[in-house]
Amino acid sequence: MPEVKPQIEESWKTALEDEFNATYFAGLKNFLIEEKKQHTVFPPGFFIFNAFNQTPISRVRVVILGQDPYHGPGQAHGLSFSVPQGIAPPPSLKNIFKEIKEDTGNPLPTNGDLTRWARQGVLLLNATLTVRARTPGSHQGKGWETFTDAAITTISKTQDHVVFLLWGRYAKNKAHLIDPSKHLILQAAHPSPYSADKGFFGCRHFSKTNEWLESHAINTIDW
């Protein structure tokens, strides 16, 4: 099997070495090679591991789990729910900002780039790290979920007092990977317009996160 050399931050490369060397990951890589011959794939290759590159494992304080990258042109840059500066925030992100404003009093941000969160220790992790353009869910079941489940499990085992924000049924199904005796798991409806008023609005996850971090003498997040 050829050696896989992922462009990923060193602490994550070490922590997930077994995943990169696993048979399923070689299959995933081959799938992506063939997929890119026929279709546009988001995000661009250098952004696939952006969440890990922005947030080394020892700095993870919060995990926000998404499902797929955005599938529209220019939207996905490897951080769940985030879009680059200059791209209009999608509806779910608008609802996240609305809840933050109601919860913390922070003003609405001027752009949807959440890199500022990632650099504070918020791992913005999608369960699937790539997607075919305009085809949501197209790269599910190809191996990414095994990889990102391993990342969640690694955080749970090696770090202390991390807050996991699980929004929607898909994210909630990852709760079994997390040790609740060490970490705080907060669950709510997905911020999508289809479900935000069914338990996301009013969840106060952002202030609750900071209360937990502060209670364990960990720097809070500037949302």
Report the catalytic residues: 68
122 backbone dihedrals φ, ψ, rounded to 5°: -95, 110
Please tell me the distance from the alpha carbon of residue 196 to that of residue 96, in angstroms, as a whole number: 9
DSSP string, 49-111: THHHHHS-GGG--EEEEESS---STTT-SSSTT---TTSPPPHHHHHHHHHHHHHH-PPPPSS
- Residues contacting residue 82 through CB under 8 Å, at least 6 positions apart: 93, 112, 113, 114, 115, 117, 118, 124
Q: Which amino acid is at 124?
A: L
Structure tokens at 61: 């304080």
Q: Which helix (H) or strand (E) holds 42?
A: strand 41-42
**Residue-level length of the chain:** 223
